[in-house]
Amino acid sequence: MLADQVELRTETRISVVWPDKNGVLLRDESADVLGHFDNVVVAAPAPQAAVLLDAVQRYRSRAEAVVMQPAWVVSVVLERRPEALAHIDLLEGVHPELQRVVRDSSKPGRSGEIWTLQASRDWTEAYLNLSADTVMHELVAALVALTGDPLVVKAHRAHRWLYCDAISTESAMALWDADTAMGACGDWLAGGGVEAAWQSGTELARMILSSKS
Q: What is the per-residue DSSP string for 127-170? A: TTTS-HHHHHHHHHHHHHHHH-----EEEEEEEEEEEEEEE---
* Amino acid of residue 53: L
Quote the pLDDT of residue 169: 75
Quote the pLDDT of residue 93: 84
Q: Is 61 exposed, middle or buried (0-12, 13-18, 19+ CB in 10 A)?
A: exposed
- Taking the C-alpha atoms of residue 100 and residue 172, their distance in angstroms, rounded to an integer, is 27
Q: Taking 90 as the threshold, does the pLDDT of residue 40 lie above it?
A: yes
Q: Taking 80 as the threshold, does the pLDDT of residue 168 lie above it?
A: no
DSSP lists the bridge partners of residue 134 as none
CA nearest neighbour of 121 among 95, 145, 140: 95
CA nearest neighbour of 55 among 81, 18, 94: 18
Quote the pLDDT of residue 192: 78
The domains located in the chain, with CATH, are 38-66+168-212 (3.50.50.60), 68-165 (3.90.660.10)
**In the predicted model, what is the mean pLDDT of residues 9-29?**
95
- Taking the C-alpha atoms of residue 149 and residue 143, their distance in angstroms, rounded to an integer, is 8
Residue 162 CB partners (closer than 8 Å, separation 6+): 68, 70
DSSP 106: G
Per residue in 102-156, pLDDT tens?
999 999 989 999 999 999 999 999 999 999 999 999 999 999 999 999 999 999 9
Q: CA neighbours within 13 Å on the CB side: how many for 80? A: 7
Quote the pLDDT of residue 167: 82
In 3-state terms the chain splits into helix, strand, coil percentages (rounded to 5) of 30, 30, 35
Average model confidence (pLDDT) across the chain: 93
